Structure 1
């Protein structure tokens, strides 16, 4: 009996003293070539890697963030001009790689997306993007249509995106319908990019 209590107490001491270690990096216009290893604060149970890519015409920008996170949610979204992913893991130094290779593999699903002139563009969904989404974003007082591919986790958490209303997700190819729009889409991309980089 004393041996069992001793083993139990040793287990508690070792697990209580262990803090998760994750790679940290915050860069714009590049991947994490220089990253540091940090011990996560109490309450952080995951390592996260978030990547956002914006492509407008021939201009492309990318931002990568790696850090500790208390409750990371794996997500992926592709709005045509904006693509973003967040991957999570829960073991020491598990976020060494910039991206999960499966996040760039087409999954067979396609959805409509908007570019500021039309919502009849078609994007190929990647990785865990198993839903099509349509929503309305309010940027500078203007309502802008948003469409694209998203992962189920984003559909389940529709309350966390500021200035976005009427979010609806559906399953199946091109289930989010085509529709013309005339508002500027670039402002929306900047807003969505800042949301993914700050959350």
Structure 2
């Protein structure tokens, strides 16, 4: 066997058998203590970790998600009743740490409008790296659903391939995402938007 063939076969042996490994976990209790290492499927090039805090009235849910992703971005989003923080990396088992708790981010002085299911004239204080305001809409069953809030620049544009989201835009400046809107089924779009960012 000549030298070129030997080098080629050696290269194939070392590169073909290696796929990215990430920790996986889905928890509604706020703890990923039972995370398991899993090999990623073909096409997944990053490991992600998500922390999401939802609060409706007196009910609060702290969710942690970890896994493989085809692509993702690190940043945070505040949609009023839902705050999310994501961390992405591209080496084996690099998502061992949880994404930061978004409710501990320090306010940065920026404000955006958010929707509560009845009105989009509420304001929310942005924090951490949330330097943009977001507006996302979808049409479902003849109704227009609107979600607004604060978002990190790195997450702007990541929602364009969400099946149910018809438009998404980010803007700079306080309250640049306008208060007027038509809104129904608020939580449905909110879940669609978050699931894409979390699992894409």
What interval of TM-score do these two structures reach, taking the shorter chain for normalisation?
Answer: 0.7 to 0.9
Is the partner of 1:164 in helix, strand or coil?
Answer: coil
Once residues 105 and 154 of structure 2 are traced to their aligned partners in structure 1, the CA distance between those partners, rounded to angstroms, is 18
Describe how 1:1-199 pairs up with structure 2 within 5 A.
17-100=17-100, 104-179=105-180, 183-199=184-200
Is the partner of 1:156 in helix, strand or coil?
Answer: coil
CA contact (8 A) 2:53 2:84 kept: yes
Question: CA RMSD of the aligned region, Å?
Answer: 3.4
Q: How has the CA–CA distance of structure 1 residues 135 and 57 changed in structure 2, closer, same or farther, with 3 Å as cutoff?
A: same
TM-score by length of 1: 0.77
Please list the CA deviations of residues 58-102 of structure 1 after superposition, one character each: whole Å capped at 9, or x if unmatched. Answer: 112233221122333334321101222321112232111111368
TM-score by length of 2: 0.77
Is the partner of 2:93 in helix, strand or coil?
Answer: coil
CA contact (8 A) 2:136 2:146 kept: yes
CA contact (8 A) 1:21 1:37 kept: yes
Once residues 175 and 53 of structure 2 are traced to their aligned partners in structure 1, the CA distance between those partners, rounded to angstroms, is 23
Once residues 161 and 58 of structure 1 are traced to their aligned partners in structure 2, the CA distance between those partners, rounded to angstroms, is 30
Is the partner of 1:186 in helix, strand or coil?
Answer: helix
Structure 2 residues not aligned, in runs of 5+: 1-5
Does 128-137 or 11-20 show the bigger shift?
11-20
Q: How has the CA–CA distance of structure 1 residues 12 and 92 changed in structure 2, closer, same or farther, with 3 Å as cutoff?
A: same
Once residues 101 and 191 of structure 1 are traced to their aligned partners in structure 2, the CA distance between those partners, rounded to angstroms, is 21
Please list the CA deviations of residues 83-141 of structure 1 after superposition, one character each: whole Å capped at 9, or x if unmatched. Answer: 22321112232111111368834333221111123222222223332210123233443
Please list the CA deviations of residues 36-76 of structure 1 after superposition, one character each: whole Å capped at 9, or x if unmatched. Answer: 12233454332111233322111122332211223333343
Q: How has the CA–CA distance of structure 1 residues 113 and 140 changed in structure 2, closer, same or farther, with 3 Å as cutoff?
A: same
Q: What does residue 3 of structure 1 align with?
A: none
Once residues 32 and 9 of structure 2 are traced to their aligned partners in structure 1, the CA distance between those partners, rounded to angstroms, is 40
